[in-house]
Amino acid sequence: MKKYCFILFLIASFAVNGQGDCDYANSYLVSAYSHVKDSYDSNNINHLQYYANRSLESFKNAKKEFTDCNCKEALDLTDKCIDLLSKVDDADTYEKGRFYVKRARDYSKNSVIEIDKCSAATPVKEDSADLAVAQGGGGDDDLTDLQNEQLKLKQQQEALKLKEQQIKMKLAEQKQKEILIKKKKLILSYESAITANINTYNETLNICGCINYKPFRDSKSLEDMTEKSIEDVKSHYLTRIKTMASEYAALINGCQE
């Protein structure tokens, strides 16, 4: 009876210690990644800095948990994120702050991947002295079977956790792709509308005997614009359209009869 009480105690110990040494660090890194994505998607510097600070705090908490987590790759990436996000508050422009956030977001994503690898590779810890006591000094086959089953269960849980994180990462990447496609469609729609406006302006100017309208070339490339938020894209093109309308009106008003 005493031997089986020890067996139950061992099972309870496995349950209590079921979390791997990297689990808490992993949790903080996932939270940090979520906040840094929110920061990157912000459309003003206040929100960008707010979420960047929340992400920075999560990274700092994660670093504390690396004492018991032997995962150098994830720790190195965490240090890089802390260094980058620490600069966001001092950024004097939205664009400069977003530059730091973008790099931190990329490092953050990789830190989650690396710590998942470490978590999945962490073996179940066994105390040989406790096992010997639990076995009563003998080679108890029942206890060995329980240990093997516990090890299998731990490995299955770790595999499922890794799969869950991979799915989350894929969903986040898919969302980013969808946003990028939406922005590109919006940009192309604005460019098409601007081209149509220029053609209409020049047709009217030709009829009136005025010189053609030649707008200034936009220095922003498609790649530059896709780095902006959707609200910033709309604001950029609205400003362009208003400027074009003012320049066209000035040409008409200055045209000789």
Same domain (yes/no): 111, 180: no
Q: Which among 80, 98, 120 is the end of a domain? A: 120
Question: Given this model, what pLDDT does residue 10 score?
Answer: 40
Task: Confirm whether 156 is domain-assigned.
Answer: no
Task: Confirm whether 132 is domain-assigned.
Answer: no
Same domain (yes/no): 35, 116: yes
- 1 Cα distance to chain centroid: 53
Task: Confirm whether 131 is domain-assigned.
Answer: no
Same domain (yes/no): 178, 246: yes
Task: Confirm whether 152 is domain-assigned.
Answer: no
Q: How many domains does the chain have?
A: 2
What are the pLDDT tens digits along the chain (257 aa)?
444 343 433 433 333 333 447 787 888 888 889 889 989 998 888 888 999 999 999 899 888 888 878 889 989 999 999 999 999 999 889 999 999 999 999 999 998 888 888 877 655 444 444 444 444 444 456 667 777 777 778 777 777 877 787 787 778 778 778 888 888 899 999 989 999 999 998 888 888 888 888 877 776 667 778 878 888 888 888 998 999 999 888 888 887 65
Output the furthest CA–CA distance in the chain (Å, rounded): 112
- What's the rounded Cα separation, in Å, for the pair 122 and 115? 11
Q: Which among 120, 144, 160 is the end of a domain? A: 120
Same domain (yes/no): 93, 27: yes
Show Cβ contacts of residue 111 under 8 Å, excluding neighbours closer than 6 positions.
Answer: 29, 32, 33, 74, 77, 78, 81
Same domain (yes/no): 116, 27: yes
How far are the Cα atoms of 9, 84, 131, 245, 249 from residue 209, in angstroms, in the given order?
A: 96, 57, 98, 19, 15
Same domain (yes/no): 24, 116: yes
Q: Which among 79, 100, 120 is the end of a domain? A: 120
Task: Confirm whether 136 is domain-assigned.
Answer: no
Task: Confirm whether 63 is domain-assigned.
Answer: yes
Nearest by Cα to 32 from 76, 102, 81, 96: 81
Same domain (yes/no): 25, 116: yes
Task: Confirm whether 89 is domain-assigned.
Answer: yes
Same domain (yes/no): 191, 102: no
CATH code of residue 109? 1.20.120
Question: Given this model, what pLDDT does residue 137 score?
Answer: 47
Q: Which domain holds residue 193?
A: 169-254
Task: Confirm whether 58 is domain-assigned.
Answer: yes
